Structure 1
């Protein structure tokens, strides 16, 4: 979904944004592999044995049971809920731009969109989420075909000379956060690798998916920027000139956003249930499930409350690219760059070469630096947007 804002990153970084898309793909592929390596230890025979099952268990092995679980659980929950919020934000933004003459504000469209998400509270198995994700993929292919097809129809007017190596120092860190956020998948990988029929194919899968993603994202961002140059909007579909065509693509994008919502929502619910609702013997509160395996009424209410909470956040923080840049700079760099390499060094120090140790340190330093800079400028941008929305003079 966040590919839609990658052309906007080229506005502020030019060719550097294109290079960043490819470089971040390489780094994220590397950190994905080293994170999964931390799930394994070698026995006396030199055989790899899976001794951990999740990101949290890796953190517990490094930072201790309480500290590790708290840090990673909080970071994961923030990222998952913010992804949910972004889906609602982008739904409202797409619909208000599709039907500008309708007397419904962006917040109203967000509320209407969220009404379709309430049934997510009834999800109990990953199988149901996977079915929804399948339809999401189909919609995604249709959207890409529409946007890229339109861009190629404008090929004679492409602004080749507008792409430069110029960097907007203030906005490029935000764009970098958007790029990082478009690759964040590490929180899902331990579970994914554990459910593969042939775990030996994990490295090959990670390599090819990141190569494909890097190529597609860089080409998509480049072609879209060539089509609209400096007028490129935060969400690329806002640039489509024909209102009927824009409305069609935006409705498809809204459908994709709503179909994408269940996966991070389901993962966030699992985090809450695992930490707070496993029964008084293990956690503070009773189990969410009755003896027959059905959800209790109050547990369903808690799940609905999470949906409403993401809606309220979406209504009060309606700036898609800046919010995405902030989250990408914060939890994205932490979970995708810093933690995997830190855990890798702590758990595999005696098993890795000095070159890998140096590369791990470089990735940690890059992630920390880019994250802090991105957080600063994203927050500054959000504050300016809020002041502008409230009618304050930005120079006050």
Structure 2
């Protein structure tokens, strides 16, 4: 059977896969911790791998605005990451049963798809990873909805769904066959469109409403200025904010800077909040001009900004300036170390001298002089 025939036979399973995949997505919304009062989004990542030891061959995770919320794998492990998910599953245990069932059903389908891809790429046994990501976005002000889905294989993009036509875009030559087969299935395209643009957002809205008192909160961060050494860039760190949709910039005379700055990624904290930082290179700035700079944090949905002036007294550092006493102590330590090393060498020399026998006289004259030194 050719690869094309395998893909054709797999068509019904893939249609079922997409339906289950999106239901799984919606089930994973139970783990959601919606992170913006304006734009809400959810992503589901499904990963199937071969040849990798000590990890499950099949893993499903759900994220809301880059925050990991729920997890299941082929080892029948379920791991909710947020309190709201735990409380929901406690109140509605039938969702937990259904979620585990869907997770188990997806695993063999993805294994089959991975096998077909290895054949298309003419690959032998080894390490290979297939990933699929799908989800939706919902703007709660404009009510605009956008669905998305894409696949990747061995670390490279494979196919991407066009959200306007709901046809697939082949991102690699080997994906053209799968694209043509999937695009030819009209029912599948309509199913994707319905699930991504209607069912997914409706469920998302429902869960936002379920956990409104917790999910729609806003937490402002603490902002600090950090510097490793006097010649290092000054880092502006904001930590403890929620949701993650925020901006952190350096300004000069009220104008945002785009040069001499380095923006870090938004990272999750262990308590569900976020942190981010932005560095400012001051190598070409005179101390007199420091007061012209400030760091500005803005949380979307909050009108007031947090502004931190660039002042030396506000900078925290673990660098300690060396003093004369430090220099003297350091010098004394070096001298003491040299003395100890020298003493140890002298002791070793004396021991070797005591063990070694005296050398024999070279001739009878030397022997006579040693026996009669005064003659």
Higher helix share: 1
Higher strand share: 2
**Larger radius of gyration, structure 1 or 2?**
2
Ranked by relative contact order (alpha carbons within 8 Å, sequence separation 6 or more), the top structure is 1
Which of the five TM-score ranges fits, normalised by the shorter chain? under 0.3
Relative to the length of structure 2, the TM-score reads 0.22
